[in-house]
Amino acid sequence: MTLSVAISHAQGGFNLDATFECGGGVTALFGRSGAGKTTLINAIAGLTRPRTGRIIFEGETLFDSARGIDVRTGRRGFGYVFQEGRLFPHLSVRQNLLYSHWFNPALRAGAEFTHIVDLLGIGGLLQRRPAQLSGGEKQRVAIGRALLARPRLLLLDEPLAALDTPRKTEILRYLRTLRDETRIPMIYVSHVVEEVLELADHVVLLSAGHVVASGDVAAVMGRPDLQPYGGFFEGGAVIEAHVEAIDPDDALVTLGFDGGTLTVGNFDAQIGERVRVRIRAREVSVSLAAPEHISIQNILRGEIMALDKPHGSSVTVVISVGAARLRARITRRAARQLALEPGMQVYALVKAVSLDRHGTAA
């Protein structure tokens, strides 16, 4: 799957000028509120007609202002899940799920219906009306309705925004399952870094209507220079790892990655499972020698690749540990006292309790 977007649009004093390309998997449109994320996803869906530009999906031109092409929303073959779910209040859950089948005889409710219902855990809700559902249940039904229309691309506009924390965790779990089992490509809008790290393969970072970065989630979300644009994350590293061992007595998990192993606080995981772990720059210390008699569980040997431009009293040290690039934010005084320079062999120290797991890697 390839989606190519190059559009400009003006609306109510707001200007959107976005250009990016993405492939399969989950692409997150990420940025502060008001960055232009919803305008952009609505243009992809065909709900908003850009002023100029082109939108091409899998080689098919959906919009081209110069050629006068604008494929209407219903013919683009995309599914859309809104923030509020937007279920029909007078229909049962079953009727909401099968809504698209009423207008397209080519769709048949059979094994596919049963599979989606089981996948989303909504079998016990089929006879209920939307008013009898919780917020999380409504969103699961909305996702199921979109999937049963057999979309070429699933668009999700902040589907967790109106939910409390337990319901967000619930829906994220189902979205991970959908990502891994259905393989339907998704465009996911969010301003929450945890959601992006949990689900996304590719990130398009928006600020004031412009794309300021686009690329692999680990590369984009680890860049400290992008913090002023995202506002909700800080520089660090996103490590793709796998579960090597689980210690139930000490509630610790050992993760293997290209640069060695990491010990992290216990979480729900299985041996061999692929996971993402975020290591924040402010939680990494630097030592010139391997420390002894220390409580820190993660002591990783690496090489200094760069010292980023100082910011205030601090400097960020980029350390290569295998293929991973850790970042350590330390004081300028500490960097001077240790005489840190690119090429030096050092040890990165990371507390096990400071590491964040963000879902299952795709």
Output the pLDDT for position 181.
Answer: 86
Handedness of CA 173, 177, 178, 184 (dihedral sign): positive
Which residue, 201, 233, 265, sits at the end of a domain? 233
What Å distances lie between residue 168 and 57, 120, 174, CA to CA? 30, 14, 10
Do 342 and 289 share a structural domain?
yes
Do 86 and 126 share a structural domain?
yes
Output the pLDDT for position 105.
Answer: 57
Which residue, 233, 249, 284, sits at the end of a domain? 233
Contact between residue 77 and residue 46 where contact means Cβ atoms under 8 Å apart: no
Tens of pLDDT along 334-357?
Answer: 999 999 999 999 999 999 988 865
Rg (CA), the chain: 23
Do 249 and 118 share a structural domain?
no
Do 271 and 183 share a structural domain?
no
Which residue, 208, 233, 258, sits at the end of a domain? 233
Q: Name the token pair of 193.
A: 């870094």
Residue 313: phi and psi, rounded to 5, are: -90, 0
Do 244 and 207 share a structural domain?
no
Do 86 and 101 share a structural domain?
yes
Do 283 and 171 share a structural domain?
no
Do 338 and 228 share a structural domain?
no
Q: Would you mind telling me the total number of residues written for the chain in this entry? A: 362
Output the pLDDT for position 231.
Answer: 55
CATH number at residue 206: 3.40.50.300
pLDDT beneath 50, residues of the chain: 361-362
Which domain range does residue 188 map to?
3-233
pTM of the predicted protein model: 0.83
SS3 annotation, the chain: CCEEEEEEEEECCEEEEEEEEECCCEEEEECCCCCCHHHHHHHHHCCCCCCEEEEEECCEEEEECCCCEECCHHHCCEEEECCCCCCCCCCCHHHHHCHHHHHCCCCCCCHHHHHHHHHHCCHHHCCCCHHHCCHHHHHHHHHHHHHHCCCCEEEEECCCCCCCHHHHHHHHHHHHHHHHHCCCCEEEEECCHHHHHHHCCEEEEEECCEEEEEEEHHHHHCCHHHHHHHCCCCCEEEEEEEEEEEECCCCEEEEEECCEEEEEECCCCCCCCEEEEEEEHHHEEEECCCCCCCCCCEEEEEEEEEECCCECCEEEEEEEECCEEEEEEEEHHHHHHCCCCCCCEEEEEECHHHCEEEEECC
Give the total number of structural domains in the chain: 2
CATH number at residue 248: 2.40.50.100
Do 115 and 49 share a structural domain?
yes
Output the pLDDT for position 230.
Answer: 61
Classify residue 152 as left (phi > 0), alpha (psi -120 to 50) or beta: alpha
User: Which residue, 187, 220, 206, is CA-closest to 23?
Assistant: 187
What Å distances lie between residue 158 and 28, 120, 185, CA to CA? 10, 18, 16
Give the pairing type, strands 26-30 and 186-190. parallel
Instruction: Sheet containing 356-360: give its strands across.
Output: 260-265, 252-257, 236-247, 274-280, 356-360
Do 263 and 226 share a structural domain?
no
Q: Name the token pair of 10.
A: 């003006």
CA 88, CA 18: separation in Å to the nearest integer? Answer: 33
Do 86 and 108 share a structural domain?
yes
Output the pLDDT for position 169.
Answer: 84
Output the pLDDT for position 358.
Answer: 56
Do 189 and 262 share a structural domain?
no
CA 138, CA 130: separation in Å to the nearest integer? Answer: 7
Output the pLDDT for position 190.
Answer: 93
Classify residue 155 as left (phi > 0), alpha (psi -120 to 50) or beta: beta
